[in-house]
Structure 1
Amino acid sequence: MTPLIIDTDPGVDDAFAIALACASPEVDLLGVTTVFGNVGLAMTTRNALRLLALYGREDVPVAAGADRPLVFPHPHRARYVHGQDGLSGLSDSLPERATGLANTDAVSLLASLLDRAAQPVTIVPIGPLTNIALLLAVHPSLTGKIARIVIMGGAMNGGNVTAGAEFNVWSDPEAARRVLAEEEVPTVLVPMDLTVRCAVDTSWLDRLAASGERGRTLVSLTSVYREHYRKSLGRDGTVLHDAVAMAEAISPGLLKTSPMPLDVECGQGAGRGMIIADRRSTAAREESGVRRGRTVDVALDAELDTVREFMLERLSS
């Protein structure tokens, strides 16, 4: 089994990612932590609890984390993408969970779960990276307990919230830089360049809705989200960004990655939140005399239909 922790800001695509983890028999879901992002922290936390209740996961501890970025205020939420409550206005349609929040904060829960784990844990951050940056800064002795950090975030060739930046990284660039450029922890970055290519169509959603009550519920949460992507893609496609990253966390190697040094633009100009990837060969980097730090495995390709079928098979079970 793969011991796994999710750090999340639900969010429609987060909902599919959480469902995918719950529906995968090889996942040992140790905990869920929440962060500000698509909507405010109170609502992301409420949504996470209800999504776990949908899958009967009263056993999974949930803790609320950062309600703001490390340094600068968060400019705006993504309600125009996910709806006012983060789930197309349908959060109340989900069951309430009898088990409430753990009596601790997100970073403390993350540290406790890592400390107690019998084997290295995969952490899947699918929102702003504030909680993860704090964890790595405050508990550096626990990095050896982390098998991989599989992150949904960033963009190599144009963003979605600005011309250059993707929402999760743009929401807290200073935290993203800490995690992606400064820490020596095995890390996979799944950027929107690939997740957009993995968009699912109406037929895929119809098949999921026909699979049973949980599938119908997940699809029902997508109405506002689907309308946003009809406009942004110019076709009827739905981009399940976070679920694509979760698929890689569950099935390592499902996505094709390339190692490269990364940096994050933290200035206050138009480039804030952009990922800067050094795609030169190792030889070219060494010849230039500019030594960069650690590398991150960036997922830029995949067998797209294989990824879609993997997600559909698990979510339909």
Structure 2
Amino acid sequence: MRKIIVDCDIGNGIAGANVDDGLALALALASPEIEVKAVTTVSGNVLNFKACLVARHFLQESGYDVPVYCGSFRALKEPTQKWRERLDHGVEKQGLKYLWQDTEENFSLADTGMDSNAVEKMAQIINDNPHEITIIAIGPLTNVAALFNQYPEVVNKIQEIVLMGGCFNVKNYLKDTNFGLDPEAAAVVLESSVPCTMAPFDTTSTTLMKQEDLEEIGNIKNSLCQYLYKTTKPWLAYSKKTRGIDGCWVHDVLTVAYLIDESLFCFKDHFVNIELEGAFRGKTYIADIGFLKNADEIQPKSSRKVKIMTAVDNQRLLSLMKQRLNF
């Protein structure tokens, strides 16, 4: 059994917020090979306090008793104003907030237990389970970087980190949101010695969950699937209207599916760097010696290569999701 911490910016039920974190968490909860030790939250897809409240609501409504810990509210260095304007208010400017009129919960700051203790709790879980914890990092890497910086003794006790982030060569995309929101945090993780598997935007954006797939999930009569259906339906409609695709991408699901069935994917191992300055800040690139055109100028910053998902079988991925959710 893989013991995991899910570090996420979950936004199910929040207008304009992606639901891929929720789909990934649901797959983990529904899979007997995986034990979710904790959910930690970070500002990204939604503000951290909302992610924390959504995670608690998600688990409560779905019937799971998993602790949720609130994490970092701000990136290590990246200014947040422009990001937050787009992520938190873009749906209103597009006139599409109505899609969530039947789903958005009245999440309030009045909720108790909002201390930012996620990093401390992550360290405690890892120390209590040395070499057994995999971190599923599906939001900005602020919490994970803080963990590595504040508790360096745990770095060699982590079994693996599986992350969704990075963008190498996708038309019209310089960077993805997870790495873009906190490039310095991504650099800390990429340059660490922890075994790392990456699901980059290049691969996750080849996935597609259509309305008929969601209807199949909605026809499964358990509380987890009913919650997923209710909160995913408006996002799928929003995605179709704004992205010009016949459904929605399921980015974060790949990180959990990898733990269950690696044969769904193709991989390549590369050194990966992230740009921290200038117009290309947040951009990831391959940094292998021999792969680079100017190898004398740009050297790998890490001592180990990253296992990169280069392709995924979308139909088998969706079949795995539906099969595990139908319990």
TM bucket by the smaller chain?
Answer: 0.7 to 0.9
Q: Among all aligned residue pairs of Structure 1 and Structure 2, give the percentage whose two residues are the same amino acid.
A: 30
Amino acid at match of 2:166: G
* Equivalent residue number for residue 2 of structure 2: 2
* Equivalent residue number for residue 26 of structure 1: 33
RMSD: 2.8
Given the alignment of the two structures, is residue 193 of structure 1 paired with residue 199 of structure 2, yes or no? no
* Structure 2 Cα separation of the partners of residues 185 and 118 of structure 1: 13
* Equivalent residue number for residue 165 of structure 1: 175
SS of corresponding position for 1:314: helix
CA gap of 1:90–1:138, structure 2 versus 1, over 3 A, is: same
Whether contact under 8 Å (2:72, 2:116) holds in the other structure is no
SS of corresponding position for 1:227: helix
* Equivalent residue number for residue 49 of structure 1: 56
TM-score normalised over the length of structure 2: 0.84
Amino acid at match of 2:55: A
* Structure 1 Cα separation of the partners of residues 52 and 277 of structure 2: 30
The Cα offsets for residues 95-126 of structure 1, whole Å up to 9 and x where unpaired, read as x9xx9748760110000000001542110011
Q: Which one of the candidate residues 139, 148, 152 is aligned to 2:164?
A: 152
Whether contact under 8 Å (2:214, 2:233) holds in the other structure is no
Q: Which one of the candidate residues 202, 216, 231 is aligned to 1:207?
A: 216
CA gap of 1:203–1:276, structure 2 versus 1, over 3 A, is: same
Amino acid at match of 1:239: W
Whether contact under 8 Å (1:90, 1:221) holds in the other structure is yes
* Structure 2 Cα separation of the partners of residues 177 and 277 of structure 1: 13
SS of corresponding position for 1:156: coil
Given the alignment of the two structures, is residue 65 of structure 1 paired with residue 77 of structure 2, yes or no? no
* Structure 2 Cα separation of the partners of residues 218 and 287 of structure 1: 47
CA gap of 1:235–1:291, structure 2 versus 1, over 3 A, is: closer
Unaligned runs of 5+ in 2: 12-18
Deviation at 1:81, TM superposition (A): 6.5
CA gap of 1:287–1:233, structure 2 versus 1, over 3 A, is: closer
* Equivalent residue number for residue 323 of structure 2: 313
1:272-311 equivalences under 5 Å are 272-278=281-287, 288=295, 291-292=299-300, 293=302, 294-311=304-321
CA gap of 1:253–1:132, structure 2 versus 1, over 3 A, is: farther
Deviation at 1:264, TM superposition (A): 0.9
* Equivalent residue number for residue 90 of structure 1: 103
